[in-house]
Amino acid sequence: MKNVSRHTGKLELVKRLRSSINGNPRYLVRVNGWECRTPVDSSLGYSIDNLFGEIVIAEIGTHYTVPTINNVWKRKDYDAFVRGEAVK
């Protein structure tokens, strides 16, 4: 993955994409105006489902020129991690 940058904002579902050939879910999402897809056959397709509507910190990069979300955290969980606290 190239050109990875970190964005903070509300995670919005734009569209549910066709599942991968192995049956794993894929989404087109928006974070603070940046539209990107979940990777093919990634566990992120399952975990991102619980974060729609939340304020998140997301790493977005390009994979074969397609904007792709690489990682995502809830804002409060990320802030606690940076401070070295246990996540509740």
- What domains are defined for the chain? 2-83 (2.40.50)
The whole-model pTM stands at 0.80
Considering only CA atoms, which of 47, 55, 75, 68 is closest in space to residue 5? 68
Torsion of CA 77, 4, 63, 68, to 10 degrees: 40
Amino acid 85: pLDDT: 67
Under a CB-based contact definition with an 8 Å cutoff, are residues 36 and 29 in contact?
A: yes
Distance CA 22, CA 54 (A): 28
Q: Give the pLDDT score at 76.
A: 75
For residue 34, name the pLDDT band (cuts at 50, 70, 90): very high
Token digits of residue 51: 């974060």
